[in-house]
Amino acid sequence: MALIVQKYGGTSVGSAERIQAVAQRVKRTVDAGNSVVVVVSAMGKTTDGLVKLAHEISANPNRREMDMLLSTGEQVTIALMSMALQELGQPAISMTGAQVGIVTEAAHTRARILHIKTDRLERHLQAGKVVVVAGFQGISSIEDLEITTLGRGGSDTSAVALAAALRADCCEIYTDVPGILTTDPRLVPEAQLMAEITSDEMLELASLGAKVLHPRAVEIARNYGMPLVVRSSWTDDPGTRVVSPVPQPRPLEDLEIARPVDAVEFDVDQAKVAMLRVPDRPGVAARLFGEISGQDLDVDLIIQSIHEGNTNDIAFTVSQASLKRAEAVSSAMIPALAAGTGSAAEDAEVMVDGGIAKVTIAGAGMIGRPGVAAQMFKTLAEAGINIQMISTSEVKVSCVVEAADCDRALAVLCEAFEVNSSPARIDTAQAAAQSDAPPVRGVALDRNQARLAIRQIPDRPGMAARLFELLAQHNISVDMIIQSQRCRLMNGLTARDIAFTVSQLDAEHAREILAAAAVELGWGEVVVDTAIAKVSIVGSGMVGQPGVAAQMFAALAQEKINIQMIATSEIKVSCVVSEEDGVKALQVIHAAFGLAGQQRIEVPA
Ligand code: ASP
Ligand code: MG
């Protein structure tokens, strides 16, 4: 007999008929010999309606009262669901978050779960009842009994946290889509259902999958090794399995870690190749990385900064053993790139550095939290460590530093982010050998970003920290950050450009803040472009496999789509292209990796 936690979203319980249909499904699961805990959302768009009501009364409603209000939505559903089960002859009982003992931080409207006192719930299960639990809510402590909510979309998090606390066999998330798709089917009709995805991939695809599965829920599943399934409430199709590697055993206290970073990682087997001032036109990255993968060389980080005039800098890292060959390939390409471009590539050059290391902070808690990257840069700056390159993804920030600084960088980062586990050495070969995942699992497009760049930032410790701290102070979340190789002599000093993306809504504010700072700190021009799109590929199978990024760049080159920025993490490659190229870029990349299929999948708008 298995213990299963089933979570039903708002649409799945949107009417009395739907609640009855869900009750049937729950009963079938019980009849098959399982114990079932059901977690539900508020019916349909109830929570949106409550938020709207609150704003009719107050422009800035009190957070405690907001939680009082919003938590009522789920309370309606649990009672109705329990009644529906009882009507089917299935013993059932509804419980609020407080009754279950879901204890959270005291942070109203965005509380994280600390622990769950499961004994009361377990007594009901043992008595043969289905327990129907209100998602999205908890209490601040057993004494205070203050009602808290977990943040919008939080009932996924309730369900997975309960599954972990009960040591359930599986957590099933029922929704109005058939599972996780390879991309957005409204933009790419050939999008297919994935049978399986890893939790790490899911986190990197947050912009694609967040509506289907709350990233905090994925994080708990990963940390506790809880098998997850995302499937449709309307069919018996198997949906998508979200799998996690077997984790280190961890206590059920502090279930949702409040810390933004849960691991510090490093790779000392890295060498850097930078191609400076190569022509800014479609096909250059495709050609370069095509040649590199033709030599069977595996590239790790790739960073391309914005163009200055009509040239780009492209920098990448390879293992030290590959450096000589990567350098040879890059140098050999310079004349070919310069051909036919007039003066643009005349002074292109290749620079290499064998003595570098990559240090990375990782954690799902950094999603949507401004200031985490800034804190990393500040920590390194305070230790006097210069950052040579920066590349970010949804759940990671990686910095390339001098190899001699690596140990110190790791020590200060572990301290700053309170990471107790020792830094994990990234072993590409081992990861590649262990994974049978496809190189690309899914492709995502983000059209809500704007790109900002600051030119000529003096190349010394503390500059990136200043920049991103300023943004964090104004509560501006930064998405992709790139600091590439550019070294230019400026009054005898070297300087770099730093480019990054923020939500379009924040772009003008960010520009104002930085323009003021630039004057004060002697930085160059601040450039903004809101007409951009970010397209990303994600797959654990790309680790240690040459040619994946090259294939992405080639797909874009074939359509003559120019790449403005590139940033990578181990399992993700992101390119910024112009806004008008965005959808086309998504489509050709999706097709290039063989993700397109015949089956047409309908999703609600
Ligand atoms: N009802 C809450 C919301 O709409 C929680 C959830 O459905 O996950 O955000
Ligand atoms: Mg949801």
Other beta carbons within 10 angstroms of residue 444's beta carbon come to 24
Provide the pLDDT for residue 424. Answer: 85
What does the CA dihedral 411, 416, 419, 421 come to, rounded to 10 degrees?
10
Provide the pLDDT for residue 276. Answer: 85
Contact 145, 100 (CB under 8 A): no
Closest ligand to C-alpha of residue 14 is 1
Provide the pLDDT for residue 366. Answer: 84
**Cα separation of 423 and 359, whole Å?**
9
Identify the CA nearest to 272 among candidates 323, 313, 307.
Answer: 323
42 lines ligand 1 (CB under 6 A): yes
* E strand map for 80-209: 92-95, 102-104, 113-116, 130-134, 137-139, 147-149, 170-175, 196-198
In residues, how long is the chain? 605
For ligand 1, mutation pick of 45, 47, 216 (most atoms within 8 Å of CB): 47
73 lines ligand 1 (CB under 6 A): yes
564 lines ligand 1 (CB under 6 A): no
Contact 136, 41 (CB under 8 A): yes
**Cα separation of 604 and 596, whole Å?**
20
pLDDT tens per residue across span 67-89: 999 999 999 999 999 999 999 99
CATH 3.30.2130.10 is right for the domain spanning 263-592:
yes
Amino acid at 202: M
Q: What DSSP assignment string belongs to 199-238?
A: HHHHHHTHHHHTTTS-HHHHHHHHHHT--EEEEESSS---
**pTM, full prediction:** 0.90
pLDDT tens per residue across span 451-508: 999 988 887 788 888 899 999 899 898 888 888 665 665 566 677 788 899 999 999 9
What strands lie across the sheet with 147-149, from one edge to the other?
A: 113-116, 102-104, 137-139, 147-149
pLDDT tens per residue across span 251-303: 888 888 768 898 999 999 999 999 888 888 888 889 899 999 888 898 988 98
Residues of the chain below pLDDT 50: 343-345
For the chain, which residues make up each domain, given as ranges? 3-177+212-243, 263-592
The SS3 of residue 341 is coil
Provide the pLDDT for residue 322. Answer: 93
User: Token pair for residue 380?
Assistant: 């390194």
152 CA from centroid of ligand 1 (Å): 5
* Residues whose CB is less than 8 angstroms from the CB of residue 64 and which lie 6 or more positions away in sequence, other chains included: 108, 146
Residue nearest to atom 5 of ligand 1 (CA): 153
Provide the pLDDT for residue 307. Answer: 63
135 lines ligand 1 (CB under 6 A): yes
Identify the CA nearest to 161 among candidates 216, 90, 211.
Answer: 216
Q: How far is CA 332 from CA 318, 335, 348, 486, in A?
A: 17, 7, 12, 20
155 CA from centroid of ligand 2 (Å): 7
Q: Which atom of ligand 1 is nearest to the CA of 74?
A: 1
322 CA from centroid of ligand 2 (Å): 45
**Cα separation of 435 and 375, whole Å?**
32
153 CA from centroid of ligand 1 (Å): 4
For ligand 1, mutation pick of 43, 70, 96 (most atoms within 8 Å of CB): 70
Provide the pLDDT for residue 427. Answer: 78
Provide the pLDDT for residue 308. Answer: 66
CATH 3.40.1160.10 is right for the domain spanning 3-177+212-243:
yes
Contact 116, 255 (CB under 8 A): yes
215 CA from centroid of ligand 2 (Å): 10
- Give Dmax over CA atoms of the chain in angstroms: 83
